[in-house]
Structure 1
Amino acid sequence: MTTLTPVGTSAARVVDAFKVYGAGDAEVRALDGVTVGFPAARFTAIMGPSGSGKSTLMHCAAGLDTLSSGSAFIGTTDLGTLGDRDLTLLRRERIGFVFQSFNLVGTLTVAENITLPLDLAGARPDTDWVDALIDVVGLGDRLLHRPSELSGGQQQRVAVARALAGRPDVVFADEPTGNLDSRSGAEVLNLLGRAVHEMGRTVVMVTHDPVAAAHADEVVFLADGRLVDRMTDPTAEKVLDRMKAFDGLAGAGAGRGTVS
């Protein structure tokens, strides 16, 4: 079992996490004994080859999917102890999400999309916080526009502001730059970095892109459903070199040794 971060500092973590699909000869272990914490007020990227389990890890850590065995925590809250209603409330109140496809509501304005999770929860927005977010994402002159009137990069910036509007404990971002050109992608990644380093938020991002991963404070690497390494202060070149090494490791069959 591999442990990467002290559990006491984690905004989110999984412990001895297994996720199994199918049975018998068709069984697939998407997660195979993973223990990892995502430190508070840090930007962590999750990387690995296709099929390594990185999106499964994020979905289980965020309560979007359930583990076959093991535990997932947001702060000190064990997600496995929550019923459907309490889990829904936790995701609404303590977690933000950013997806590759933006997931904005086309009939709502930018302003309405940003505050939508709060409106659905019946919560009153903190106007100072929301105004600060709008300033950070640079869309103050687009608040009355609909998503169809925005570029892809602008739509994703709205999605980031929406994810942060309720001051969540952690924001999970699944390939947030996958549908963007390099310039728009860099804008979104810089925005996520500012949310961490200037606003004290926690961001966990799944990506296949070494350039995107280089914006994080730390990268954790998966192969065959197992954690195999981590890297602090990443650069695109170092991440790419590490990924090339893991291609060979995965082909040889990675073990579940300890990563120090």
Structure 2
Amino acid sequence: MSTQVAASTHELRKVYGKGEASVAALDGIDLDIGGGQFTAIMGPSGSGKSTLMHCLAGLDAVTSGHAYIGDTDITRLKEKDLTRLRRDRIGFVFQAFNLIPTLTAEENILLPLAIAGRAADPAWFDLVVDTVGLGDRLRHRPGELSGGQQQRVACARALVSKPSIIFADEPTGNLDSTSGAEVLGFLRRSVDEFDQTIVMVTHDPVAASHTDRVLFLADGRIVDELWQPERESVLERMVALSNGAH
């Protein structure tokens, strides 16, 4: 496990609206995400989970404060440089898979590299495809794959460019428990075997139990954290948060 900080924030604020109608979605977040770790972000609906991920990933502009990928302050980058950073250093996995239906699984996996004009590392591609168990599905289009297989294509796509960090937004939200467990197992392996850094937004205590660390948000602030989480301990914290104990 790396001791480097893969992503961080300093006094991060995100405010929607103006004046009396304004709402602070993030209210002064200070956070370090360790490299080579699997981190979950949890909290009640409206707590700021997805907003935090979007600000960390440079998908959403911050109101004040700073967000960093490694040593790079992404809140200070011009749009062109931010686009390049997202393309070269960040992987994304979304709940809705976001695959292109007319492309095969292999073409979908290689798409970020194709857009960047980079060639795939054949040995790495083979390793990723083997790890997600898609070797016999590369010629299939998304419509010919199950939900779990489609999400594994999305995971492989996120990994193939060897990003510094992967952000996963409810990656098992549309999957049955068996497919969800397969995807979570693959994400866990990519941390343990490839030293990948993953930040996952989830509301599922079972998903969170695959991670190294859970951060709990409430009202735009980090109010608790849990290392080496188990389903029951995560559930207890979530119940406490939903009852207003923070």
Where structure 1 has 5 or more consecutive residues not aligned to the other structure, the ranges are: 1-7, 255-260
CA distance in 2, matches of 1:80, 1:213: 28
Q: Which residue of 1 aligns with 2:174?
A: 179
Deviation at 1:172, TM superposition (A): 0.1
Q: Which residue of 1 aligns with 2:154?
A: 159
CA distance in 2, matches of 1:65, 1:76: 19
1:170 correspondence with 2:169: no
After superposition, the CA RMSD in angstroms is 0.9
Deviation at 1:249, TM superposition (A): 2.7
Deviation at 1:66, TM superposition (A): 1.1
| Within-5 A mapping of 1:104-253 | 104-249=99-244
CA distance in 2, matches of 1:248, 1:188: 31
Deviation at 1:78, TM superposition (A): 0.4
What do residues 133-185 of structure 1 show as CA deviations (whole Å, max 9, x unaligned)?
00000010011000000000000000000000000000000000000000000
AA aligned to 1:184 is: S
Give the 3-state SS of the residue equivalent to 1:103 in structure 2. Answer: coil
CA distance in 2, matches of 1:71, 1:9: 18
Q: Which residue of 1 aligns with 2:85?
A: 90
AA aligned to 2:80 is: R
CA distance in 1, matches of 2:108, 2:121: 15
CA distance in 2, matches of 1:85, 1:125: 23
Deviation at 1:23, TM superposition (A): 1.5
Give the 3-state SS of the residue equivalent to 1:141 in structure 2. Answer: coil
- What percentage of residue pairs aligned between the two structures are identical? 62
Q: Which residue of 1 aligns with 2:69?
A: 74
What do residues 29-57 of structure 1 show as CA deviations (whole Å, max 9, x unaligned)?
00000011111000000000000001100
Give the 3-state SS of the residue equivalent to 2:123 in structure 1. Answer: helix
Deviation at 1:116, TM superposition (A): 0.3
Deviation at 1:248, TM superposition (A): 2.5
Deviation at 1:247, TM superposition (A): 1.7
AA aligned to 1:131 is: D
Q: Which residue of 2 aligns with 1:5?
A: none
Give the 3-state SS of the residue equivalent to 2:243 in structure 1. Answer: helix
Deviation at 1:24, TM superposition (A): 2.1
1:59 correspondence with 2:59: no
Q: Which residue of 1 aligns with 2:39?
A: 44
What do residues 111-134 of structure 1 show as CA deviations (whole Å, max 9, x unaligned)?
110010000000011111011000
Where structure 2 has 5 or more consecutive residues not aligned to the other structure, the ranges are: none
Deviation at 1:14, TM superposition (A): 1.0
